[in-house]
Structure 1
């Protein structure tokens, strides 16, 4: 089997509600999605997606994905997509770094491989738990009142997990954390996501003030060095998200005890192949996980669900899915959808969902 054609589509994904990153620092209204179709000489077709959370969140942007695919295409064409490690090495040789540009190709290869084997990707990877995964909301609000309103909107959709964005103002952050804890319902999972929004002293002030609540904070500071510097000075569980990019990052975090939770974003780390290694580092060191698409359609959400299904149930807190936040559906209602705040693993071979090409418009790139 060989990859014969790579076709690239660009789709704008308007958000249902304007979204502010932690502390209201950045506003997002539309995501720039790249969808990729790999066609093989046997007729099997695989799909991948790369949708960064805007272009100001982390070093990733939509045009960069499309430019990266154009650069890598000559090295990928003619390879067997089932040999995902060969494809991974070809991409790394053709374009060092730029992991976010490689993720949709990796995803499409796993889709083809699963179809060829007649198995869902999660089963092919050796996992495949059918326990529905809670979907974590993304509460990008700024005030106590707005936070309550957004959480209640998600609760009405069945959500039991919430990622509450804080950061930027110490007193306001303490007030929001304490207010959310005061209305937290039994069984709810709440992660307070700072998105790198605190300095070291701000992090210590908030986390120390909230130690009695025993809550989880995600990415409290900009870098791993910052997180390391304050790690012995507070008692709050920490999740690392934006600073978890490479396998070397995962090894350092685990070895140095910098975090108790990994937030694995598939597009950021380069796709399933690389993310699976981070999963294994986490499991070997007793580190729990959230698994997330950086953003995007049901395709990206489904990829995250497949990785989450390879993690033992007790070690996977939730998945983050973007489909309830956008107003465009490229798959006509197919694929894993919110059912009482959870996603259920698809039983179809491969990814388990493909887009309607008519919903994607004309290709913006084709390589053969």
Structure 2
């Protein structure tokens, strides 16, 4: 089996509601999605997706994915997509770095490999837990009242896990955390996500003020060096998200005890192949995980669910899904959807969901 063509599609994904990070510092209203179709000479077709969260969140943007695929395509055509390590090495040789541009191709190859083996991707990877994974909402609101309203909106949809965005203002963040904790329901999972929005002193002030609550904080500071500098001065569990990009990052975090939780974003780290290594480092060091797509449609959410299903139930807190945040539907209700605040692993071979081609328009690039 060989890859005979790669087609690239661009799609705008308007958000249902405007979305803010870091206390309102960054605002997002539309995501730029790139969908990749990989066709083989055997007739099997795989789909991948890369949707960065805008272009101001981390070093990734939609046009960069499309340019990256164009650069890598000559090195991938003719390879066997089932040999995902061979494809990974070809991409890394053709374009060092730029992991976010490689993720959709990796995803499409796993989709084909699963179809060829007649197994869902999670089963092919050796996991495949059928325990439904809680969906974590993403509460990007500016004021305390808005935060509480957004949480309640997601509760009505069945959500039992929430990622509450904070950062940028110490007093406001302390008040927001305490207000949310006052309304936390029994059994709810709440992660306070700073998105790199604190300096070292701000992080310590908020963590100290909320020490009695024993809450989890995600990415409290900009870099791993910052997180390391404050790690001995607080007792709060920390999740590393934006600073978890490479396998070397994962090894350092585990070795130096910088975090108790990994936030693995598949698009950011380069796809399932690279993310699986981070999963194994986490499990070897007693580190729990949240698994996420950076953004996107049901395709990206499904990929995240497959990785989550390879993690032991007790070590996977939740998955984050974007499909309830966007207003565009590309798969007519197919694929894993919110059922009582959880996603259920599809039994269909491969990824388990493909887009309706009529929703995508013409490709912006075709490579043969």
- Per the normalisation by structure 1, the TM-score is 1.00
* Separation in 2, partners of 1:135, 1:119: 24
1:310-360, Cα deviation, whole Å (9 max, x unpaired)? 000000000000000000010111000000000000000000000001100
* Separation in 2, partners of 1:141, 1:16: 13
Which residue number corresponds to residue 65 of structure 1?
65
* Separation in 1, partners of 2:100, 2:75: 17
Which residue number corresponds to residue 271 of structure 2?
271
* Separation in 2, partners of 1:39, 1:229: 48
**Alpha-carbon deviation of 1:22?**
2.1
Which residue number corresponds to residue 178 of structure 2?
178
* Separation in 2, partners of 1:25, 1:239: 21
* Separation in 2, partners of 1:148, 1:248: 38
- Helix, strand or coil at the partner of 1:89: helix
* Separation in 2, partners of 1:192, 1:20: 14
1:131-188, Cα deviation, whole Å (9 max, x unpaired)? 0000000000121101110000000000000000000000000000000000000010
Which residue number corresponds to residue 133 of structure 1?
133
Which residue number corresponds to residue 205 of structure 1?
205
The reply on whether 1:16 has 2:51 as its aligned counterpart is no
Q: What are the ranges of 5 or more consecutive residues in structure 1 without an aligned counterpart?
A: none
- Helix, strand or coil at the partner of 2:28: strand
Matches for 1:86-125 after TM superposition, within 5 Å:
86-125=86-125
Which residue number corresponds to residue 365 of structure 2?
365
1:229-281, Cα deviation, whole Å (9 max, x unpaired)? 00000000000000000000000000000000000000000000000000000
Which residue number corresponds to residue 253 of structure 1?
253
The reply on whether 1:168 has 2:168 as its aligned counterpart is yes
**Alpha-carbon deviation of 1:283?**
0.0
Matches for 1:348-359 after TM superposition, within 5 Å:
348-359=348-359
Which residue number corresponds to residue 33 of structure 2?
33
The reply on whether 1:228 has 2:221 as its aligned counterpart is no
- Helix, strand or coil at the partner of 2:231: helix
- Helix, strand or coil at the partner of 1:323: coil
- Helix, strand or coil at the partner of 2:43: coil
Q: How many pairs were matched up?
A: 368
Which residue number corresponds to residue 344 of structure 1?
344
- Helix, strand or coil at the partner of 1:63: helix
Which residue number corresponds to residue 7 of structure 1?
7
* Separation in 2, partners of 1:140, 1:356: 30
Q: What are the ranges of 5 or more consecutive residues in structure 2 without an aligned counterpart?
A: none
- Helix, strand or coil at the partner of 1:46: strand
**Alpha-carbon deviation of 1:21?**
0.9
The reply on whether 1:310 has 2:310 as its aligned counterpart is yes
- Helix, strand or coil at the partner of 1:163: strand
